Amino acid sequence: METDSLIALNTLNHGRCRTWPFLQDFCLTCGICAGSCPASGVDGFDPRKLLRMIALGMEDVAVSARWPWICTMCGKCANVCPMDIDIPGLVRRIRSLRDREKVPGITHKGLQAALETGNNLRLPKDDYVFILEDVGEEIAQEPGFEGFSVPIDKKGARILTTIHNKLVNTHTEDLKHWWKIFHAAGEDWTVPSENWEGTNWGYFTGDDAAMKIMTGRIAENMERLEIDTLLWPE
Amino acid sequence: MAEKRVLVIGSGVAGLSAALDLAAAGVEVDVVEQYEFAGGQGIRLSCKATETCVKCGACMAGDRLGRALKHPRIRLMTGSSIEATDRNGRFAFQIRRKPEFIDPSKCNACGICYKQCPAEGAIIQGTSGHHRPFFAISEKVCLYLKDKSCTACRDSCPMSAINLDAMKQTELTQADAVIVAAGFSTYRPYEKPYGYGVFPNVVTNQELEAILKRHGRVLRPSDHTEPGRIAFIQCVGSRDTKLGHLWCSTYCCGSALRLARLIGHRQPQIQTTLFYIDIQTFGRTIESYYKETKEKIRMIRSIPGDIYPSENKGLKMTYLDPMTADTLQEDFDLIVLSVAMMPPAGLEGILKMFHLDRIADGFLSLSEDTARQGIFAAGAVTGPMPLAEAAASGSKAAWQSICYLKTA
């Protein structure tokens, strides 16, 4: 987290970040953000220092640093900040300035997969439907849930739900809780067969365009199935 | 100044300082105090001196109250509020005085009423030897005043000083000028992430003052044991744009450092840590205690983020250690929040009465125009300030009033 080159304040591009023109100038460096952050201390991460880097014009250092990617974007810092500084917003903007190929971990790859196939896993439609129906059959074997089946693409249902990719990957058991509650409550619900991905990793990578596409697809599903209530658990 | 009269609203350090200076110049003064006891919030503070005085100002309220009570030109009306006002040349006031349930000439401050009363908060205790009677009856809580179901205090009073059927009184008075010294309120830090109101051992600095005043030393509210480790957190509710409090409250660095010094002197086994942003050196007296205190307590330049309960009503606090860049969890037995000064509750009524405005922060705004009408202000109602400044501000308002009375 050190740089040898001199930082020129006039290189800071205020226009690049909505929150950059002045908000970080309000920072009192009180440190309540760092004191409440669940990720602070990981690899020396300190939201107070990250904010200070931006205030000092160290934009390039911040963009290439690992710190902005340690943040979980939980928003606790902004919640306690007495000066109302949108720290997760700042982190997201810093992330957005990084070359997409250098976005760490699986987030950018998962997002690319989602843009191309409708879900982060590149899970084909047939496999996805098979998994849903398989879980549905398991539920139907439990006492009190006889006759249960998964309503896929049900036109005119009251609620449309999205699916987190892990629920059709490693955590299929977790699908059952929702569905059983729906069943017991007599809810009229459905899941889409395509573009069902509920996560929106453009949020985490700072990719506004991708985020818009992912959100738009959910809206399209609602229009196609003539549903006006969305349950988006992510 | 013969036959000139000034009405002072508020009997704290600022109001009493103004009243004494006016009276010394020959002006008649009425001091209206809404609370049952005079002396403002300053009179509830405890002296921070050890073998040396650290000029905390806690004695100022008592000193001024003692002198005001003896002064023939000062009339002090506690439990009083202005019901109506008019101006036709002079100001005319109608003042509502709460019933005098306890006769000050009979009460000997024995405290039997306080001990006998079954309704908590119905009998309020004074905080100064100048408070006579030393007890007052709360109209809101007293069972007799609610449904005549209890007369324990009256029956047990050995001096027959209590009359539960006393009636409220209305006084009419006139004045040539007015000084608004309505004081301040303190921030109740419920929305801060410190569990205030949930964990009994998280207190405000005012509550710590009350503990010190009552017991002479620090005891934990939960079990009245001596804490081993105390933390002060500064700037709670001050310099806070979310709350609309952009101001530094100016009194709290001095207050916390003096409290820490006093605790270290009286209870040297207690370890005190001060969590702060920066030390604000308002006033001229900080050198008398800052250097010494800084060496004796632990000072960490970071505001903690969370407090969790631990065993035995202890508190686990997380903060970023700025020296190591590590997030630490540390146990404390008592946590003191240095809370903000805010405009006083009930300021709205005064604003309407005298056609006054607030400044952007919400404190009282005064101008040359209001001064021309004979309306002046003193103390923290004009903005946060420490006690010494409030006293000086009271004297200044008295001087302004005298200048006005000479020309009016």
Q: Of the residues B340, B368, B390, which one is the last residue of a structural domain? A: B340
Q: Do B320 and A26 touch (CB under 8 A)?
A: no
pLDDT at position A10: 56
Q: B89 falls in which pLDDT band (50, 70, 90)?
A: confident
| Residue B325 neighbours by CB under 8 Å, 6+ apart | A41, A44, A46, A49
Q: Do A37 and B327 touch (CB under 8 A)?
A: yes
For A30-56, write each residue's pLDDT tens digit.
999 999 999 998 988 999 999 888 877
Whether A160 maps to a domain, the answer reads yes
Q: Do A31 and B239 touch (CB under 8 A)?
A: no
How much is the average pLDDT of A19-33?
77
Strands (E), A87-141: none
Range of the domain at A92: 9-98
Average pLDDT of the residues of chain B: 94
The structural domain count of chain B equals 3
The structural domain count of chain A equals 2
Tokens standing for residue B176: 């040539």
Q: Inform me whether the C-beta atom of residue B327 falls under 8 Å from chain A C-beta atoms.
A: yes
Strands (E), chain A: 159-161, 189-190, 229-231
Using an 8 Å CB-CB cutoff, list chain B residues near A27: none
Of A34, A76, A80, the CB nearest to B320: A34
Give me the torsion for CA of B288, B289, B294, B298, rounded to 10°: -170
For A55-102, write each residue's pLDDT tens digit.
777 888 899 999 999 999 999 999 999 999 989 988 998 999 999 889
Tokens standing for residue B329: 């969890």
Q: Are residues B238 and B328 both part of a single domain? A: yes
Q: Of the residues B321, B340, B359, which one is the last residue of a structural domain? A: B340
- Work out whether strand B314-321 and strand B326-332 pair parallel, antiparallel, or are unpaired: antiparallel
pLDDT at position A4: 47
Interface test with A, best of B303, B326, B329, B335 (most A CBs within 10 A): B303
pLDDT at position A3: 47
Whether A118 maps to a domain, the answer reads no
Instruction: Give the CATH number of the domain where residue A24 resides.
Output: 1.10.1060.10
Q: Are residues B57 and B198 both part of a single domain? A: no
Q: Are residues A135 and A202 both part of a single domain? A: yes
Amino acid at B36: E
Please name the residue that has the structure tokens 């299929």.
A172
pLDDT at position A2: 45
pLDDT at position B40: 96
Whether A3 maps to a domain, the answer reads no
Nearest CA in chain B to A36: B305
Q: Do B305 and A33 touch (CB under 8 A)?
A: yes
Q: Inform me whether the C-beta atom of residue B319 falls under 8 Å from chain A C-beta atoms.
A: yes
How much is the average pLDDT of B358-380?
92
How much is the average pLDDT of A178-202?
94
How much is the average pLDDT of B182-210?
97
On the question of pLDDT at A22 being above 70, the answer is no
Residue B209 to residue B251: CA distance in whole angstroms = 14
DSSP state of A14: G
Instruction: Give the CATH number of the domain where residue B34 resides.
Output: 3.50.50.60
Q: Do B302 and A31 touch (CB under 8 A)?
A: yes
Q: Inform me whether the C-beta atom of residue A46 falls under 8 Å from chain B C-beta atoms.
A: yes
Q: A24 falls in which pLDDT band (50, 70, 90)?
A: low
Q: A15 falls in which pLDDT band (50, 70, 90)?
A: low
Q: Of the residues A51, A80, A98, which one is the last residue of a structural domain? A: A98
pLDDT at position A165: 93
**Nearest chain A CA: its distance from B93 CA (Å):** 42
Instruction: Give the CATH number of the domain where residue B126 resides.
Output: 3.30.70.20
How much is the average pLDDT of B337-348?
96
Q: How many residues in total does chain A contain?
A: 234
For A128-173, write each residue's pLDDT tens digit.
999 999 999 999 999 999 989 999 999 999 999 999 999 999 999 9
